Structure 1
Amino acid sequence: MKRTVLTISVLASLAGCATPPDKISGIPNSGPCTQADKERLAVISNQQNKAATGDALGVFLIGVPVASMSGGDHEAEIAILKGRCGPPKT
């Protein structure tokens, strides 16, 4: 019984983890892509990578996606900016 509860809680924690920016699809939207949009997309993509890594580590160590729970997940904004500007150039 304890093993089943542990498995369910680990799976629930994994579902709340931050998604790596390269796995986020753009949402088509209107509006021009400005230089500020491109810069913001680069910054939050970097933050999203860190959040995804932090979540994976947090779930592994303590069973909780710490970065996502602390507001480090920028998935919605990345999707909007990718829809406007395309994926960030690296």
Structure 2
Amino acid sequence: MKRFAVTVAAFVCLVGCATPPDKIAGVPNAGPCTQADRERLALLTNQQNKAATGDALGVFLIGVPMSSMSGGDHETEIAVLKGRCGPPKT
């Protein structure tokens, strides 16, 4: 029973981790893509990369995705901006 509880806890922690920005699909929307949108997408992509890395490290060290729990996950806004502007140019 203890092994099952540990497995379930690990699964819950992994599901709650921030998604890397390159794995986030765009959500189609009708808004025009502005320069501010492109800049915001680049900023959020950088922050999302840091959140995904921080979550992976947090789960490895203490079993908790700290970045996602502290509001560092911007998946929804990235999906909307990608739908409007396409993937960020690197």
Q: TM over 0.5, yes or no? A: yes
| Runs of 4+ residues deviating >2 angstroms | none
In structure 2, what is the Cα distance between the partners aligned to 1:57 and 1:72?
A: 14
Q: Deviations over 1:10-50 (max 9, x none)?
A: 00110000000000000000111000000000000000000
SS of corresponding position for 1:72 = coil
- Cα distance per residue 1:45-90 (max 9 Å; x no partner): 0000000000011111111110000000000000000000000000
| Corresponding residue for residue 11 of structure 2 | 11
Structure 2 unaligned runs (5+)?
none
- Percent identical pairs in the alignment equals 77
Q: Give the superposed CA RMSD.
A: 0.5
TM-score by length of 1: 0.98
What SS does structure 1 have at the residue aligned with 2:89?
A: coil
What pairs with 1:1-90 in structure 2 (closer than 5 Å)? 1-90=1-90
The gaps in structure 1 that reach 5 residues or longer are none
- Give the letter aligned to residue 2 of structure 1: K
Q: How many residues align?
A: 90
